[in-house]
A and B are shown apart, each in its own frame.
Chain A
Amino acid sequence: MSAAIEVRDLTRVFEGSKRRGRERDEVVALDHLDLVVDEGQVHGLLGPNGAGKTTLVKILSTVLLPTAGSASVLGRDVVRETRAVRPLIGIVFGGERGLYGRLTALDNLRYWAALHRLADAEGLRRAHELLDRVGLHERADDRVETFSRGMMQRLHLARGLVGDPPVLFLDEPTTGLDPIAALDFRRLVDELRGEGRTILLTTHDMVEAEAVCDRVALIDRGTLLAVEAPRTLATWIARYERIDVDGASEEVLAQVRGLPGVSAVNRREDGGARIETDADGATQQVLRTLVDHGITSVQTSLPNLTEVYVHLVGDRGLEV
């Protein structure tokens, strides 16, 4: 399998504001990043805000130049062969921006089709086909500003596909979507994978990454921490569980603290306690201990990405 996206030693430094009597601040968004995404893969780029995900997507989509290093899409260098790269890529941004709200969905897509050099008739056919595909055909002639967030997101995807690109960048595509809309969107991504497109998807949602990606790159402060299969993420999620408990005495908590696989026990402000585990099977043991002491007001939950980060990379993972 050949590489659709190849990133070598990629560095991007942003110059911050200059303060009186001091040197201009510098922000390192990408720090000697290496990444390879195989053709036909859905590759997740997972990291907290400020990790460098969007910076990487911007460089790959030719709207930002790297400070050092190289990046290529289907063998074309994004800096030296910009014109050759642009017909190969589609970009889908998250949120409500990126569309002309006062115009209809059809007008929007026809415009982007023209910019991808599809002749009038072909552009119209493609626009209708895509609106049908993302379930917006009935709303083709409605102004985009009247759309719900989920509908806008589907239109974003249609816009990204209008040039029929073999490589697609999805930048936080499900941000702000309700669960049903997010699920629909993931189904569409799954279909695109079936068509053999390469997709680089940035997200800070671990569950989403697990649901749609073949591989997931964990990125923090512009460096690559690991590239894993989603299965590994599932293991992390299962391992790092948290238990919220009410009515536990200090004695009970001290006993829990001594159990194997318990990584932290902290009092909450409301008087309850939060217990965190970091090993398989530890949660069951904690629950058994609590129940043995007659404590039944217990709630378990899976960690979010930030909490997994705390476990994996320490507190620095939270600083952006």
Chain B
Amino acid sequence: MEGWLIPFRGAMRFQLRALRRTPTYLMVLVTIPSYTVIFLALTDQADRPDLFGAAVLAPVLIAMWGVAIWVAGMIVRGDRFLGVLEAAIATPTPYSVVLLARILVVTLAGWVAMAETWLTAWIGFGVVIEIPHPVTFVLTVALTTLAMAATAVIMASAFVLSRVANTFATSASYPFYVLGGVLVPVALLPAWVQPLSRLVFLSWSSDLLRDSLALAPVTNVAGRLAAIAVLTVAGFAVAAWTLGRVLHHVRETGELAFR
């Protein structure tokens, strides 16, 4: 584990520099205000001020996941295009660790989206979104960021396998939003879907974030945060295994550099 911390930190520092040179990593920030306006307009028209919090969280979570997936693909495609992928695979550091670190940096930077939505709500609708449970909110945001990066590494495997994985990743995101309770809380989904959605970290995250914006006390914070943490670790384990298998496959077919 200790041996991974050095490359992990190094890859994070590298990505931070790359982010400064390539702001297109965060293109999604351009579209966020529009989504926020749509969601807020719907809740405003329905006269449901109690849902304003949910209306600003949904575009943030969609944007964050979008950033994570977009970056996973961009890193793999970029490394392949630049002829760096083979050299990276041949180092002593597993590529999954490198990807996790690099995706994490951009996803962290992506939280600027939250400031955008808050501002959009205030400027466009005169709504000030307050955070009555800031500690829960911050802890959830931190864990969710890590979980998103870890899960995006699974998607990166698809990008190693195929150049057109973007379409797949975008399509796969929609069930993820539904199961993650991003737009509609899990409790409102059909009963048979609910156990399945509990396997998706985002369902815990979105519920907890919404609760931390409400005045009512948040229940079982530790347990729910632990659920996100466990799903994060499990997600990364699956990601590392999947990426390992995919890399073995492309080493076998000789398509590591060409796909």
Within 8 A of A (CB), among B17-39: 17-18, 21-22
- State whether the Cβ of B84 lies closer than 8 Å to any Cβ in chain A: yes
* Chain A count of residues within 8 A CB distance of the other chain: 38
Instruction: Contact check, B90 vs A89: say whether CB atoms are below 8 A apart.
Output: yes
Option from B3, B10, B89, B252 in Cβ contact (under 8 Å) with A111: B10
Instruction: Contact check, B14 vs A111: say whether CB atoms are below 8 A apart.
Output: yes
Instruction: Contact check, A114 vs B256: say whether CB atoms are below 8 A apart.
Output: no
When each residue 1-24 of chain B gets 1 if its CB lies under 8 Å from chain A and 0 otherwise, what string results? Answer: 001001101110110011001100
Instruction: Contact check, A114 vs B9: say whether CB atoms are below 8 A apart.
Output: yes
Q: A63-B251, A64-B256 are in contact. Are A86 and B10 (CB under 8 A)?
A: no
When each residue 84-110 of chain B gets 1 if its CB lies under 8 Å from chain A and 0 otherwise, what string results? Answer: 101111111100001000000000000
Instruction: Contact check, B98 vs A63: say whether CB atoms are below 8 A apart.
Output: no
> Which listed segment binds B: A42-50, A93-101, A229-237, A301-309?
A93-101
Contacts of A101 in B (CB 8 A): 82
Instruction: Contact check, A107 vs B7: say whether CB atoms are below 8 A apart.
Output: no
Instruction: Contact check, A107 vs B252: say whether CB atoms are below 8 A apart.
Output: no
Chain B binding surface SS class: helix
Contacts of B134 in A (CB 8 A): none
Instruction: Contact check, A87 vs B92: say whether CB atoms are below 8 A apart.
Output: yes
Instruction: Contact check, B87 vs A98: say whether CB atoms are below 8 A apart.
Output: yes
- State whether the Cβ of B190 lies closer than 8 Å to any Cβ in chain A: no
Within 8 A of B (CB), among A80-139: 83, 86-87, 89, 91, 93, 95, 97-103, 107, 110-120, 123
Option from B9, B91, B92, B252 in Cβ contact (under 8 Å) with A65: B252
- State whether the Cβ of A149 lies closer than 8 Å to any Cβ in chain B: no
For A114, give the chain B residue with the smallest CB separation.
B10
- State whether the Cβ of B254 lies closer than 8 Å to any Cβ in chain A: yes
Instruction: Contact check, B88 vs A115: say whether CB atoms are below 8 A apart.
Output: yes
Instruction: Contact check, A100 vs B93: say whether CB atoms are below 8 A apart.
Output: no
Instruction: Contact check, B86 vs A63: say whether CB atoms are below 8 A apart.
Output: yes
Option from A103, A110, A112 in Cβ contact (under 8 Å) with B18: A103
Instruction: Contact check, B6 vs A86: say whether CB atoms are below 8 A apart.
Output: no
Q: How far is the CB of A261 from chain B (nearest CB, A)?
A: 44
Contacts of A83 in B (CB 8 A): 92
Q: A15-B253, A107-B14, A111-B11 are in contact. Are A99 and B91 (CB under 8 A)?
A: no
- State whether the Cβ of A62 lies closer than 8 Å to any Cβ in chain B: yes
Instruction: Contact check, A97 vs B83: say whether CB atoms are below 8 A apart.
Output: yes
A91 to B82, CA, bound (A): 15
> Which of B3, B82, B254 has most chain A Cβ within 10 Å?
B254
A123 to B11, CA, bound (A): 12
For B89, give the chain A residue with the smallest CB separation.
A63
Instruction: Contact check, B90 vs A86: say whether CB atoms are below 8 A apart.
Output: yes
- State whether the Cβ of A58 lies closer than 8 Å to any Cβ in chain B: yes
Q: How far is the CB of A296 from chain B (nearest CB, A)?
A: 50
Instruction: Contact check, B89 vs A100: say whether CB atoms are below 8 A apart.
Output: no
A227 to B10, CA, bound (A): 42
When each residue 8-24 of chain A gets 1 if its CB lies under 8 Å from chain B and 0 otherwise, what string results? Answer: 00001011000000000
Instruction: Contact check, A14 vs B254: say whether CB atoms are below 8 A apart.
Output: yes
Residues of A at the B interface (CB closer than 8 Å) are 12, 14-15, 58, 61-65, 83, 86-87, 89, 91, 93, 95, 97-103, 107, 110-120, 123, 159, 163
The 7 A-B pairs of least Cβ separation, nearest first, read A114-B10, A97-B83, A115-B91, A111-B14, A102-B21, A98-B83, A63-B86
User: Known contacts A86-B91, A97-B83, A163-B92; can you find 17 more A-B pairs with CB under 8 A?
Assistant: A62-B90, A62-B251, A63-B257, A86-B90, A93-B83, A93-B87, A97-B82, A102-B18, A103-B14, A103-B21, A111-B13, A114-B7, A114-B9, A115-B92, A115-B98, A116-B91, A117-B7
